[in-house]
Homo-oligomer: A and B are copies of this chain.
Amino acid sequence: MKPSKPKVLFFDVNESLLDLKELKITVGKALNGREGLAPLWFSMLLHHSLVSTASNQFADFSQIAVATLQMVATQNNIVLHKEKAKEVIQHFQKLSPHPEVEEALALLKSAGYQLVALTNSSEKAMNAQLRNAGISSFFDAQLSVETLGTYKPHKKVYQWAAEKQGVTLNECMLIAAHGWDVAGALWAGARAAFIARPQQELYPLAPLPEIHEKNLLDIAKKLIAMG
């Protein structure tokens, strides 16, 4: 028996749909050419977003991005002024989609799927990101965790997103290139697909997602083939 089609597809945005490569190059330049520090900065950004959540605090994702970029700089004896750090983080809004994303979204849309963006970016940043990447029109809804004041992968985020779309969590599938996002969605009771982009890994302590492919087009084909 073929698995049944999910009613709603939630898409993570940063790294999953949009390519962070250019941002990481810009971050590397700001850190005296030490591009190898970009993964550390991104990990610290994700960690500190949950530090806020664990304390019932909330700060804009780009504010946390600026703060953690400054921390990485100071830890490595690199001078980086706050204004420069803010300028670097602005590049979040100018990311290109990964090459196969537009075709994959178009196929899913034609097949009748309901597509929803679900991101840690702020409402305003998310809108700009999807518009600048030229993929805004594919989405039935664009949800930012900013509205809830809680970062992914807190289970409240997935519950809230499902409620917003008027469905239950087991009728939803999250599609993401981050192991921690896939883990959170599965633990919350949703279905999940993992986009195995370069340097991205599933979290070994979490359940496995039902779909695991190298790009979004292959995931779209599997979804369209569902019963």
Residues of A near any B CB (own CB < 8 A): 36, 39-40, 43-44, 46-48, 50-57, 59, 63-64, 67, 70-71, 74-76, 151, 153-155, 179-180, 183-184, 187-188, 199-201, 203-205
* Given A55-B184, A204-B67, A75-B153 contact (CB < 8 Å): no
Q: How far is the CB of A62 from chain B (nearest CB, A)?
A: 12
Chain B residues contacting A75 (CB-CB under 8 Å) are: 39, 199-201
Number of identical monomers bound together in the oligomeric complex: 2
* Given A39-B40, A40-B39, A47-B46, A55-B187 contact (CB < 8 Å): yes
**By the criterion CB–CB under 8 Å, are B56 and A204 in contact?**
no
**By the criterion CB–CB under 8 Å, are A54 and B179 in contact?**
no
Cross-interface CB contact of A51 among B36, B40, B50, cutoff 8 Å:
B50
Distance A67 CA – B56 CA, assembled complex (angstroms): 27
Cross-interface CB contact of A180 among B51, B76, B180, cutoff 8 Å:
B51
Chain B residues contacting A54 (CB-CB under 8 Å) are: 50, 53-54, 151, 153-155, 184
Q: How far is the CB of A141 from chain B (nearest CB, A)?
A: 23
Distance A44 CA – B41 CA, assembled complex (angstroms): 11
Distance A215 CA – B53 CA, assembled complex (angstroms): 29
Chain B residues contacting A204 (CB-CB under 8 Å) are: 67, 70-71
Distance A199 CA – B73 CA, assembled complex (angstroms): 10
Chain B residues contacting A155 (CB-CB under 8 Å) are: 54-56
Distance A168 CA – B184 CA, assembled complex (angstroms): 33
* Given A43-B44, A47-B46, A55-B183 contact (CB < 8 Å): yes
Beta-carbon nearest neighbor of A200 in chain B: B75
Chain B residues contacting A201 (CB-CB under 8 Å) are: 71, 74-75
**By the criterion CB–CB under 8 Å, are A47 and B203 in contact?**
no
* Given A71-B204, A201-B74, A203-B71, A183-B51 contact (CB < 8 Å): yes
Beta-carbon nearest neighbor of A180 in chain B: B51
